[in-house]
């Protein structure tokens, strides 16, 4: 049966319309990254799935669309893991300020987003969601993602094993699920990331998250001299350049109120099947232990929960696996997953383990000059949790399920007595 000229015209128009729709521009997977000084800089990243980028507009006020000016141009772009990732590094931002941004491409303006820069005063408080290991279970990890905007954190510290298999399909799925961390009004919680063993190359972190060092170890600072976070790479040599970086980074921030270290693999995993990270014990821990202002390390990888008492390295008779409890001078090691990866039993508790257990969780951390408060959030009831706002973002939201094992749901870390700590260092060297 032949089509009439009118039918042929209609088919042609419909085909042209469908082609236009499928070829139209599309931006997706918007994220904001922190590194360096988080009170005056940030990187905006997205996947330009279709069409051409024309400019990013960023301002402290939300202007009408026809008033956007001073388009920001790309810092870099790349094609990696099935996405055309675009990055724009923003500098000279104002501290503690809400920045709106919108991306314009060949089809027009995209959605409006915003994020907050960190404060610049050590008298301010900040909060973090810290976790990792989102690998395989999409429904579970999505629950964790949906809780992110509700906690109104300063940043998410995501410590590796984003995906199970390092391929295009899983990365696209990961970013699709991560969209749930964006609040309904467009608020984006910035991220600081480290590499896990399921990321088979440093390039994943550099290309997808614009990590500022190709070996994926770097510093981020918050609130002037309140906090230095040192992000390390468990998946490459610990000695050599990374060790030198760590030594210099910790020394440079010795006068800050706090330093926190984060990396993927635990020095002493709480799952028996996981190997002890002797290289980190040898090359990282001695530097951590030299600084009175470094009382907390964030670890992942095992797909379980653990938090230790404050511990120091030791081979005393009272030690276990190279550490002993020291409430005055020790470091608390917290984390071990699990943001959607297969849960594992915490079957390797030590005498200095404060609590452990196989639960899906991430840490919620509030940092002020006076103390660090660390809680473990069971994120799976996210639908029952009320959203925090800018003004009450350090309160516990109604419905939040906090893990409360035998030693309690709140861990508080106070500044160490520096003189006492110096004496401890002298004694430990002798
Ligand atoms: Fe891992």
Instruction: For residues 186 and 317, state if they share a domain.
Output: yes
Q: What is the pLDDT of residues 153-191, one digit of tens each?
A: 999 999 999 999 999 999 999 999 999 999 999 999 999
Cα of 318 vs centre of ligand 1, distance in Å, is 30
**Is the model's pLDDT at 243 over the cut of 70?**
yes
Residue at which a domain ends, from 85, 116, 147: 116
Residue at which a domain ends, from 116, 145, 180: 116
Domain, as residue range, for 404:
126-429
Instruction: For residues 112 and 134, state if they share a domain.
Output: no
Can you give the pLDDT at residue 10? 59
Instruction: For residues 277 and 359, state if they share a domain.
Output: yes
Instruction: For residues 112 and 146, state if they share a domain.
Output: no
Task: Please tell me which residue, 183 or 25, carries the higher pLDDT value.
Answer: 183
57 within 8 A of 114, measured Cβ to Cβ: no
Instruction: For residues 69 and 193, state if they share a domain.
Output: no
Is 221 within the bounds of a domain? yes
Cα of 195 vs centre of ligand 1, distance in Å, is 9
Secondary structure E strands in 195-304: 218-222, 227-231, 258-262, 296-299
**pLDDT band of 68, cuts 50, 70, 90:** confident
- Tell me the residues surrounding ligand 1 (ion) with CB < 5 Å: 161, 196-197, 301
**pLDDT band of 9, cuts 50, 70, 90:** low
Can you give the pLDDT at residue 8? 55
Q: What is the pLDDT of residues 273-309, one digit of tens each?
A: 999 999 999 999 999 999 999 999 999 999 999 999 9
101 within 8 A of 43, measured Cβ to Cβ: no
Instruction: For residues 313 and 394, state if they share a domain.
Output: yes
Is 174 within the bounds of a domain? yes
Is 7 within the bounds of a domain? no
Is 12 within the bounds of a domain? no
Q: State the residue for tokens 């002993």.
A: 324
Residue at which a domain ends, from 116, 134, 153: 116
Q: What is the pLDDT of residues 394-410, one digit of tens each?
A: 999 999 999 999 999 99
Cα of 27 vs centre of ligand 1, distance in Å, is 30
Around Cβ 75, how many Cβ atoms within 10 Å? 15
Around Cβ 68, how many Cβ atoms within 10 Å? 18
Can you give the pLDDT at residue 17? 43
Distances in Å between the Cα of 52 and the Cα atoms of 13, 27, 49, 107, 415 are 24, 10, 9, 8, 51
Cα of 59 vs centre of ligand 1, distance in Å, is 38
Cα of 133 vs centre of ligand 1, distance in Å, is 7
Instruction: For residues 50 and 166, state if they share a domain.
Output: no
Instruction: For residues 215 and 85, state if they share a domain.
Output: no
Instruction: For residues 89 and 170, state if they share a domain.
Output: no
**pLDDT band of 346, cuts 50, 70, 90:** very high
* Secondary structure (3-state) at 218: strand
Instruction: For residues 285 and 383, state if they share a domain.
Output: yes
**Is the model's pLDDT at 23 over the cut of 80?**
no
Can you give the pLDDT at residue 67? 78
Longest dimension (CA), the chain: 97
Can you give the pLDDT at residue 101? 95
Is 10 within the bounds of a domain? no
Average pLDDT over residues 68-97: 95
**Is the model's pLDDT at 421 over the cut of 70?**
yes
CATH number at residue 111: 2.60.40.10
170 within 8 A of 142, measured Cβ to Cβ: no
Instruction: For residues 191 and 322, state if they share a domain.
Output: yes
Is 255 within the bounds of a domain? yes
Query: Is the pTM higher than 0.85?
Result: yes
Compute the mean pLDDT over every residue in the chain, rounded to the nearest whole number: 94
| Token representation of residue 8 | 């042929």
Number of domains in the chain: 2
Is 121 within the bounds of a domain? no
Can you give the pLDDT at residue 1? 45
Is 15 within the bounds of a domain? no
102 within 8 A of 112, measured Cβ to Cβ: yes
**Is the model's pLDDT at 430 over the cut of 80?**
no
Instruction: For residues 199 and 53, state if they share a domain.
Output: no
Q: DSSP letter at 72? A: B
Cα of 100 vs centre of ligand 1, distance in Å, is 35
SS (H, E, C) 145-207: HHHHHHHCCCEEEEECCCCCCCCHHHHHHHHHHHHHHCCCCCECCCEEEECCCCCCCHHHHHH
Gap between the Cα atoms of 133 and 141, Å rounded? 9
Residue 290 sits at φ, ψ, to 5 deg, of: -85, -10
Secondary structure E strands in 301-368: 305-308, 311-313, 323-325, 332-335, 353-357, 362-367
361 within 8 A of 304, measured Cβ to Cβ: no
Q: What is the pLDDT of residues 112-128, one digit of tens each?
A: 999 999 999 999 999 99
Cα of 86 vs centre of ligand 1, distance in Å, is 27
CATH number at residue 168: 3.60.21.10
């Amino acid at each position: 049966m032949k089509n009439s000229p009118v039918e042929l015209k209609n088919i042609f128009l419909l085909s042209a319309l469908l082609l236009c729709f499928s070829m139209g521009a599309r931006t997706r997977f918007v994220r904001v990254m922190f590194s360096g000084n988080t009170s005056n800089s940030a990187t905006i990243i997205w996947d330009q799935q279709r069409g051409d980028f024309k400019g990013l507009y960023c301002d402290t006020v939300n202007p009408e669309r026809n008033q956007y000016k001073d388009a920001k141009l790309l810092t870099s772009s790349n094609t990696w893991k099935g996405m055309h990732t675009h990055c724009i590094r923003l500098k000279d931002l104002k501290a503690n300020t809400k920045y709106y941004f919108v991306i314009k491409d060949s089809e027009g303006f995209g959605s409006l987003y915003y994020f907050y820069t960190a404060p610049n005063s050590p008298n301010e408080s900040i909060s973090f969601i810290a976790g990792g290991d989102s690998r395989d279970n999409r429904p579970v990890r999505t629950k964790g993602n949906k809780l992110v905007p509700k906690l109104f954190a300063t940043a998410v510290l995501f410590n590796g094993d984003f995906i199970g298999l390092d391929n295009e399909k899983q990365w696209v799925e990961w970013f699709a699920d991560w969209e749930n961390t964006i609040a309904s009004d467009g608020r984006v919680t910035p991220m600081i990331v480290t590499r896990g063993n399921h990321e088979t190359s440093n390039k994943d972190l550099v290309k997808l998250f614009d990590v500022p060092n190709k070996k994926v170890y770097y510093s981020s600072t918050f609130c002037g001299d309140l906090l230095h976070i040192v992000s390390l790479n468990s998946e490459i040599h610990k000695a050599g350049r990374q060790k030198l970086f760590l030594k210099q980074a910790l020394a440079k921030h010795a006068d800050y109120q706090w330093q926190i270290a984060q990396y993927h693999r635990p020095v002493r995993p709480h799952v028996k099947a996981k190997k002890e990270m002797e290289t980190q014990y040898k090359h990282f821990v001695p530097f951590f232990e030299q600084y009175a202002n470094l009382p907390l390390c964030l670890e992942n990888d095992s797909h379980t929960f653990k938090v230790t008492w404050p511990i120091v390295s030791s081979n005393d008779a009272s030690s276990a696996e190279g550490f002993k409890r020291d409430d005055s001078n020790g470091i608390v090691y917290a984390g071990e997953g699990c943001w959607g990866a297969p849960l594992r039993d915490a079957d390797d508790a030590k005498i200095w383990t404060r609590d452990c257990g196989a639960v899906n969780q991430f840490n919620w951390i509030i940092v002020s000059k006076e103390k660090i408060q660390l809680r473990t959030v069971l994120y799976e009831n996210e639908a029952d949790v009320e959203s925090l706002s800018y003004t009450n973002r350090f309160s516990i939201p109604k419905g939040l399920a906090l893990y409360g094992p035998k030693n309690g749901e709140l861990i508080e870390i106070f500044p160490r007595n520096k003189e006492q700590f110096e004496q401890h260092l002298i004694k430990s060297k002798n």
